[in-house]
Chain A
Amino acid sequence: MNAKPRLNIGAVRSSFAPWADPSAKPLVRFDQVTKRFGGETAVDAVSLDIYEGEFFALLGPSGCGKSTLMRMLAGFETPDLGRITLGGEDLAGRPPHLRPVNMMFQSYALFPHLTVAQNVAFGLRQQKKPKDEIATRVDEMLALVRLEGLAHRKPDQLSGGQKQRVALARAIAPKPRMLLLDEPLGALDRKLREETQFELMALQQRLGMTFLIVTHDQEEAMITADRIAVMRAGQLAQIGRPAEVYEAPNSRYVADFIGDVNLFEAKVIEDDGDIIRLVSPEAPEGLEAIEDDEIAIGSTAWLAVRPEKMRVHLDPPPPGPNRLEGTVADIGYLGDWTTYLVELPGGRTIRAARANASRVVDRPVDWDDKVWLTFAPDSAVVLTR
């Protein structure tokens, strides 16, 4: 169900797409769910389907309602309007302890008076499983998260990364229909976080369990999730694969929230069904982009171009659309990437990024150099809102 079948979006091809199958039954369905706290609407008529086996991310800034949405699924908050169903069954009125979902808390919420093994066994004890079955399952879980030797430690004797893995094992142990992860990696340092992102993904594939992750970290959502729902002020701004959300954002909000973007406000002057031409005071030679959707001539639109899709030239390329001229105002060298801030004659600053693919460069770009920026028509996205 790609909106633009002619464009292959993103660098990843994946055959897993239950949401594209109209006959597939979702595991969880949010149906027009609204939640208010006092006068504030935290979640505003959200409808969302999550499918069996999916790794789904709710992404948004703090206060956008993503945590509230998750807590309603876990049963800690009650929707004011709308329904939440799990496997077709309405969850209304069902307390948290009777819902077949488990949550991994942001603070990990490990029981400080219990050992690691007792923490992991907690959910199984509540299910009244026989003792030897609990012991086997606990060992299995500790092996899964590579904590075999620490079964008899107390939580305050563990490092941050170990605590995170105990919390994960504890939530998975009772075999929930769905695992909810509330900012699971927020407390880890950068290196460990990156490792853990890939570990989480591998774990989810191995278990075949449905994961719902809530995060404000776009990188975390992009790496781990099959689909991302970008939230804004209690509403869903866009749902899609990470590559779709990044390469084909549906609004300036999404384009700007995920990654960096250069936005040009422009007027549409021509649409030949394939290529749209626009004029903008910031681009004297005109702009053009490939766009399938019809956009009314004369209307205002925004052209979004990612910094890495801007090419930097020291020699003037042939004149034409999508060519900008400016001077280098700042250079940010990140090792793997270099970001150039190029100031246009009108005073506007454009971001261009280049991968440092080789160690030796013939003509490095310097501060105050005169440069030209170009981008391909299929690198730009036309946004109408």
Chain B
Amino acid sequence: MRRGPSAFNIAAIVLGMGFLYLPIVLLVIYSFNESRLVTVWGGFSTRWYVSQFQNEQLLAAAWVTLRVAFVSATLATILGTLAALGLVRAGRFRGRTLFSSMTYAPLVMPEVILGLSLLLLFVSVGVARGFWTVMIAHTTLTLCYATVVVQARLVSFDEALEEAARDLGAPPWKAFALVTLPNIAPAVAAAWMLAFTLSLDDLVIASFTSGPGATTLPIRIYSAVRLGVSPEINAISTLLIGLVATGVIAVYLLNMRRRTAAP
């Protein structure tokens, strides 16, 4: 019997991958376009990469985005891990079902509604919109994703391990830090990466909750595109893709090393 992919399998993979990645490949190729016209190939050049680094507005937006993503991902991961621990460990408490469905609700809630409701909240409380409001909004958005990722790992984590640590003389917090955390670390890292990426490319919620001086990169790109696509946008998008891909590959390699590290 013949093993390996059939013609149908290969066709399916080529079509699927093409559908997913062709637009991105085109974008990357055109970021190296010499021509100012986005759709006309004018020879290879890296001038747009150079010029974007002289674009103060773009750089400022990128810096805001990175800061927002970093702080909100960290916060969401901590809160998400705690929520996951509560859901998995606390057993049956009153309102557990309500709590868990409320944690997941933002997963399926339209972003427009989340953005609008956050905007209304910030306005009614009287908070000036800016860096912190975007950060809080993104924490709200990514918290449930982080919870889901960490919870999936905790469910398969043998609680006897933590009991063994306590039995051997470690107080509860130390048992968690010495035994549970190292074992769920890959999931926590994955949750952070996911939250970071989600925050990095969010346009809808950021446009509701950001204010003057806190324009994020997606907002900047979107408004620039409305005035006509500049090849600079292609260049910065390529850099973003590279950044995210590097992060994902780094986490993957880290996990592989952990698995095969022992002599």
What is the interface of chain A, defined by CB distance below 8 A to chain B?
74-76, 95-98, 101-103, 105-107, 109, 111-113, 115, 122-123, 126-127, 152-154, 157, 170-171, 174
Contacts and interface: CB of A to CB of B under 8 A. Distances in A.
A75 B171 CA distance: 12
A97 B263 CA distance: 32
Contacts of B169: 97-98, 123, 126-127, 174
Interface in B161-212: 161, 163-172, 174-175, 178-179, 182-183
B262 interface: yes
A154 B160 CA distance: 18
Contacts of B174: 126
B56 interface: no
Given A97-B171, A157-B262, A109 B166 contact: no
B164 A97 contact: no
B183 A113 contact: yes
B165 to A, nearest CB: 7
A69 to B, nearest CB: 16
B168 A170 contact: yes
Contacts of A126: 168-170, 174
A174 B167 CA distance: 11
A171 B165 CA distance: 10
Nearest to A111: B179
Given A111-B183, A115-B262, A153-B262, 8 more contacts: A96-B163, A97-B172, A109-B163, A111-B161, A113-B183, A122-B165, A126-B169, A127-B169
B164 to A, nearest CB: 4
B163 A111 contact: no
The A interface is mostly helix, strand or loop, or mixed, namely loop
Contact of B167 (A103, A106, A113, A157): A103
Contacts of A123: 168-169
Contacts of A111: 161, 164-165, 179, 183
A98 B175 CA distance: 13
A362 to B, nearest CB: 57
Contact of A95 (B161, B164, B166, B183): B166
A149 to B, nearest CB: 12
B262 A96 contact: no
Contacts of A170: 164, 168
A109 B175 CA distance: 13
B161 A154 contact: no
A123 B170 CA distance: 8
B170 A105 contact: no
Interface string B51-95: 000000000000000000000000000000000000000000000
Contact of B183 (A101, A112, A157): A112
Contacts of B163: 76, 96, 103, 105, 109
Contacts of A102: 167-168
A115 B262 CA distance: 8
22 contacts: A76-B163, A76-B167, A95-B171, A96-B163, A96-B167, A97-B170, A102-B168, A103-B167, A106-B160, A107-B158, A107-B160, A109-B161, A111-B164, A111-B179, A115-B262, A122-B165, A122-B168, A122-B170, A126-B174, A154-B262, A157-B262, A171-B167
Nearest to A126: B169
B94 to A, nearest CB: 15
A109 B172 CA distance: 16
Contacts of B263: 152-153
B157 to A, nearest CB: 10
B166 to A, nearest CB: 4
Given A76-B163, A95-B166, A174-B168, A109 B182 contact: no
A8 B56 CA distance: 98
A148 to B, nearest CB: 16
B166 A97 contact: yes
Nearest to B183: A113
Nearest to A38: B92
Nearest to A100: B169
Contacts of A97: 166-172, 175
Contacts of A98: 169
Give the one of B168, B170, B179 with max A CB within 10 A.
B168
Contacts of B182: 113
Nearest to A121: B168
Q: Which 10 A-B pairs have the closest CB atoms?
A: A126-B169, A123-B168, A109-B164, A109-B160, A154-B262, A96-B166, A113-B182, A105-B160, A103-B167, A97-B166
B37 to A, nearest CB: 55
Contacts of B165: 111, 122
B201 to A, nearest CB: 33
Nearest to A167: B164
A105 B262 contact: no
A174 B161 CA distance: 17
Nearest to B175: A97
Contacts of A105: 160, 163-164
A31 B263 CA distance: 50
Contacts of A74: 167
Contacts of B170: 97, 122, 126
Contacts of B168: 97, 102, 122-123, 126, 170-171, 174
B179 to A, nearest CB: 6
Nearest to A123: B168
B262 A103 contact: no
Interface in B141-168: 158, 160-161, 163-168
A72 to B, nearest CB: 13
Nearest to B163: A76
Contacts of A112: 161, 183
A112 B179 CA distance: 9
